[in-house]
Copies of this chain bind each other. A is one copy, B any other.
Amino acid sequence: MQMKAYIGLDIGGTKILGALFNSKGEILKREKKKTKADEGEKRVAGQIFKVIDELLAYDKNIDLISIGAGAPGIVKKESIISFSPNLPFKNFDLGTLIMDKYDVPFVLANDVNVAMLGEWKNGKHKDLKNIVGMFVGTGVGGGIIIGGELYLGDGASGEVGHIVINRDGAPCGCGSRGCLEAYASKTGIQNAIKKGIKAGEPTVLQDIIYNGVLKSSQIKEAYKQGDTLTVRAIEDAIDALGVGMANLVNTLHPQLFIFGGGLIEAMGKDILKGAKKRAEKAAMPGLMDKLIIQEASLGDDAGIVGAFELAKMYKLK
């Protein structure tokens, strides 16, 4: 007998994760391959095909319903990676390639949007319809669900890390100043600590900080130890997250706010309590009374699980 199944793909800058799901959303098989982004778009597409092929090899009686995927960057028409900071794609129509080869519907979205979809659909509050997600890691990304559907605006949306909270504030990687990401991301925290070091302040992170990007666990450790410079940077990050959150509450009045990403996974409780308190001060009175805050729980699986949810939603259309 044929078995209905879906494939969810998480196409990252260094690795491609994939999983075969049954209709209930249970993972039947997992697969992982290097992206080989530096070898060009055809090579990356080949790697994606390999992941799909190995997943399909799970059982010869699979009836594949659809494939969903998330990729970093700006995605168009649920099929084209129009630009990606981490992938060698420019207006690359991955969807048509996949649909031609496998003859099943394919749906693509931005990786943060997809991860958020996964967290939402696998959390306790999947009945809610208006949701904002914020993912705090190397940068700050986000996603918006409106009326139970991913909201994409005119192609992109949910660039919540680049909400300006300090006009003429700290420089941000995007070219602007005072963005939430310039304070609340790992990069922002690292820059704040570097600034302190330059001003002659001591920190236990002194040696680590000039050898690549800090790990969330290292930041957490220094914070727990009470390292003054780290504590100050984290407190400022919490303040910034609270203000960014209030801005989104005032704009969208969501029912649910999902926080995820490496820094939240490492020190969610320390961060979220403070951020919520700050947001309540900055948001319009009453708008946060019923707001539910949910911590992401899927970790690295958020991408593939979200891609499955995306594939399932697409099928329903």
Contact = CB atoms under 8 A, between A and B. Distances in A.
Number of copies of this chain in the oligomer?
Answer: 2
Interface string A140-184: 000010110001111111111011111100000011110000000
Among A158, A165, A250, chain B packs the most CB atoms within 10 A around the CB of: A250
A292 to B, nearest CB: 10
Contact of A253 (B147, B153, B255, B287): B153
The dominant DSSP class at the A interface is loop
B174 A284 contact: yes
Interface residues of A, number: 47
Contacts of A282: 164, 176-177
A47 interface: no
Given A162-B250, A165-B167, A248-B251, A156 B287 contact: yes
B253 A163 contact: no
A290 B154 CA distance: 9
Given A164-B282, A165-B164, A154 B130 contact: yes
A196 B238 CA distance: 33
B175 A285 contact: yes
Nearest to A174: B284
A159 B254 contact: no
Contacts of A284: 156, 159, 162, 174
Interface string A276-287: 000001111111
A240 interface: yes
A156 to B, nearest CB: 5
B281 A156 contact: no
B251 A158 contact: yes
A247 B146 contact: no
Interface string A289-305: 01100000000000000
A163 B254 contact: no
Contacts of A155: 253
B243 A157 contact: no
B255 A163 contact: no
A236 to B, nearest CB: 9
A240 B283 CA distance: 18
Given A130-B154, A147-B147, A255-B154, A163 B285 contact: no
A239 interface: yes
Q: Which 10 A-B pairs have the closest CB atoms?
A: A153-B253, A159-B250, A157-B253, A162-B250, A176-B282, A163-B247, A154-B255, A154-B253, A156-B253, A159-B284
12 contacts: A130-B153, A153-B255, A154-B290, A157-B252, A159-B253, A163-B163, A163-B251, A164-B243, A174-B285, A176-B283, A247-B247, A251-B251
